[in-house]
Structure 1
Amino acid sequence: MDFDLTAEQQKRFDDLRDALISASPEPDGSGAPYDRDRWQEVARLGLTGLCLPTEYGGGGLDTLDTALGLEAFGEGYADTGLVFAVSAHLLACAVPIRDFAGDDVRAELLPGLASGALIAANAMTEDEAGSDLRTPSVTARRDGDHYVLHGEKSFASNAPAADVIVTYAVTDPGAGFLGLSGFAVPRNLPGIHVSEPFTKMGLSSCPAGRVRFDGCAVPARYLLGREGQGTAVFTHSMQWERTCLFAGYLGMMNRQLARCAEQARERRQFSKPIGSFQAVSHRIAGMKQRLEAARLLLYRAAWLLARDRPDTTAIALAKLAVSEAAVANSLDAIQVFGGSGYLAGTGVERNLRDAVPSTLFSGTSEIQRNLVAQSLGL
């Protein structure tokens, strides 16, 4: 096993991280969603199209290199909400369009998705279909050369800002998993209603809202794959998202760890740097251990997926390790910074608020443990 990055990979990572550090504004704490100018700023660095085909303006990267790009994003950019928003746009939306849309739809949508001219949202979750995706209520009825969509999705990141909504609806109620179909729906079609952005605990700069379809007639060419293939399309997109999106949290934790080590070296109590106290130094060592273990699991899952060997257990272990390390490390960071870490505006408490949702989206920690247990015959 060779654990070294190639010279090309390391240079791409360093150049991207450094460019992002220069571009990254410290979030103002207002919780305001990103605007198009901020989106375009990171899009110009290639982040909105990392793994999209080069012929459409993308970077043409595989899963491991995409993960490395998003890790650099998370390390170099202070606003984890925008890191998440771009990652969701790319992995849960652009990837299924890349791999399942017809040639005409790919030509129509992928250039804009790669350049950042278009923003995409993934609308899968419903009030009664979150972790249990067997019984979604949104339906799509074939009517000539259109599908007519009815129903409501309860939580869609990027939806209030989106130009394209990737969604899933039941086309054959009696077919179970084979009755679900995926669609790439232009936001400007009549019959689409998106709520105002939710007020959330974390990732506040990424707007999320409800999406309602009231007899929305979607041209059949926007079907992803074949009718009834929606479960396979969604599973494929989740393999990419659960593997690559969480690399952004690796970057966040790396930046967080550096800040904690600096704080431990510089802050003094009882006439000593606080890092000289074992209670502090061991806490930071534990943060390092969680980060490095999670990184190895994520790189392994990405490496397997890049070789067309998707491993559900490896992906679940990586997602679980990264998300739970992000929460634990963020709690530890608040302890290292003490009272100042509890205050808004330092970024320390914001890391914790941004880390908590990572245990919920893309499949909860409990779902990931279910997948691991199933692999053990339980």
Structure 2
Amino acid sequence: MDFSWNDRQQAAYDRMLTGSRALDATGSLPLRDHWRACADLGLTGLSLPEELGGQGYDALTAARAVEAAGRGCPDMGLLFSVLAHLFATAMPIAEHGDDRLRKELVPLLATGEAIGANGITEEEAGSDVTALRTTAERRGDQYILNGTKSFVSNAPVADLLLVYAVTDPAFGFLGVTCFAVDRDTPGVTIGAPFVKPALTTCPAATVTFTDAVVPAARVVGRPGQGAAIFQSSMRWERSCLFAAYLGQMDHLIDESVQHATGRRQFGQPLADRQAVSHRIAEMKLRLETARLLLYRACWLLDRGEHTPLDIALTKLHTAESAIQTALDAAQLFAGSAYSNRTDIARALTDALPARTFSGTSDIQRELIAKGLGL
């Protein structure tokens, strides 16, 4: 395995790091303005085909660029919003949609002209995605959708919803179909944005379908292929999206080193205290092991050699490492971690959901155990 970065990969990292540092992290601008800035950086189309308006990066290069964005921009909510749009909405259409659907929708998503949202989670179908109750009944060349998606990131601002619904209950896993649904479709109701303490700049809401008519031409892939399409999108999310947390950890380590060497207590720098220096050493070790797991998973993904075990190991370790690293940084900065002088508290708050979204840490442990034959 070659651990060096080629010129294109390094250029993508450098450009994204510089550009992401210029992103407004205060949330003071309208969300569409934030999205426009991200689109100008190429974040909305990193892994989408060049002929459809994207950057054409493979998984490894895309992850490298995402890591730079996570290091440069402290607004993880904005990055999560954009990357969920890319990996959970645009990529499934690019990889599984027919030519007509790809040409119609992917260029709009690649450039950020249209914002995408992924509708999978329901009140009784969070970790158990086989328990969906949203249905789609075939009537001629149309489907009639009914049901409610309980937590849809980007829903309040989305132009396009990628919706998973049961089309044949008798077939279980093979009876779920994926649909590309326009926001303004009659019968689609988007609820008020949730008030949430983490990833605050990623809006989320419930979405209800009441006899919503969706053309059969808007089926992504084939009827019954929805569960497989969802799993393929999770491979992208659990690897490339989580590279943003590598960047966040890298940033927190830099901040911690500067703080430890610059602040003096009891007549000596904090860094001279073994408890402090060893804590930062553990932060670095945690980052590098997460980085190796994540980039190996992306390398395998590009080679078509990945397994659920590789992806689950990556997602679990990166999520847990992001939380612990933010906790360590908060301990090192003490009271100032909760002041406006640092982004430590925000990083901690935004790291906590990593244990839940894209499959909980407990689900990843189940996948790892299954991968080991347990």
TM bin (shorter chain):
over 0.9
Q: Which residue of 1 aligns with 2:171?
A: 175
Equivalent positions of 1:91-102 (< 5 A) are: 91-102=87-98
Tell me the C-alpha RMSD between the 2 structures: 1.2
Do 1:56 and 1:110's aligned partners in 2 also have CA atoms closer than 8 Å? yes
Q: 1:229 to 1:183 in 2, by over 3 A?
A: same
| 1:17 and 2:11 are equivalent in the alignment | no
Equivalent positions of 1:224-239 (< 5 A) are: 224-239=220-235
Do 1:153 and 1:211's aligned partners in 2 also have CA atoms closer than 8 Å? yes
The letter of the residue matching 1:333 is A
| 1:59 and 2:58 are equivalent in the alignment | no
The letter of the residue matching 2:282 is G
Q: Which residue of 1 aligns with 2:312?
A: 316
Q: For the residues of structure 2 that align with 1:319 and 1:128, how far apart are their CA atoms?
A: 23
Q: Which moved more, 1:337-346 or 1:71-80?
A: 337-346
Q: For the residues of structure 2 that align with 1:163 and 1:5, how far apart are their CA atoms?
A: 36
Q: Which residue of 1 aligns with 2:157?
A: 161
Structure 2: state its 5+ residue gaps: none
| 1:121 and 2:109 are equivalent in the alignment | no
Q: Which residue of 1 aligns with 2:242?
A: 246
Q: For the residues of structure 1 that align with 2:277 and 2:129, how far apart are their CA atoms?
A: 44
Do 1:180 and 1:230's aligned partners in 2 also have CA atoms closer than 8 Å? yes
| 1:26 and 2:22 are equivalent in the alignment | no
Q: 1:33 to 1:233 in 2, by over 3 A?
A: farther
Q: Which residue of 2 aligns with 1:362?
A: 358
Q: For the residues of structure 2 that align with 1:76 and 1:184, how far apart are their CA atoms?
A: 33
Give the CA deviation at 1:317: 0.3
Q: Which moved more, 1:79-88 or 1:7-16?
A: 7-16
TM-score when scaled to structure 1? 0.97
Structure 1: state its 5+ residue gaps: none
TM-score when scaled to structure 2? 0.98
- Which whole-Å deviations, capped at 9, do the CAs of 1:242-295 have from their partners, x for residues lacking one? 111100110111111111111111111112111111111111111000000000
Q: For the residues of structure 2 that align with 1:108 and 1:2, how far apart are their CA atoms?
A: 38
- The count of residues paired between Structure 1 and Structure 2 equals 374
Equivalent positions of 1:241-280 (< 5 A) are: 241-280=237-276
Do 1:33 and 1:205's aligned partners in 2 also have CA atoms closer than 8 Å? no
Q: Secondary structure at the match of 2:284?
A: helix
Q: For the residues of structure 2 that align with 1:345 and 1:48, how far apart are their CA atoms?
A: 30
Do 1:25 and 1:78's aligned partners in 2 also have CA atoms closer than 8 Å? no
- Which whole-Å deviations, capped at 9, do the CAs of 1:142-165 have from their partners, x for residues lacking one? 111111100000001111110000
Do 1:24 and 1:78's aligned partners in 2 also have CA atoms closer than 8 Å? no
Give the CA deviation at 1:24: 2.2
Give the CA deviation at 1:338: 0.6
Identity of aligned residues (%): 51
| 1:2 and 2:2 are equivalent in the alignment | yes
The letter of the residue matching 2:24 is P
From 207, 215, 219, give the equivalent of 1:219. 215
Q: Which residue of 2 aligns with 1:50?
A: 46
Q: For the residues of structure 2 that align with 1:189 and 1:175, how far apart are their CA atoms?
A: 28
From 54, 68, 74, give the equivalent of 1:72. 68
Q: Secondary structure at the match of 1:338?
A: helix
Do 1:34 and 1:206's aligned partners in 2 also have CA atoms closer than 8 Å? no
Q: Secondary structure at the match of 1:174?
A: helix
Give the CA deviation at 1:11: 2.0
Do 1:34 and 1:82's aligned partners in 2 also have CA atoms closer than 8 Å? no
Give the CA deviation at 1:7: 2.5
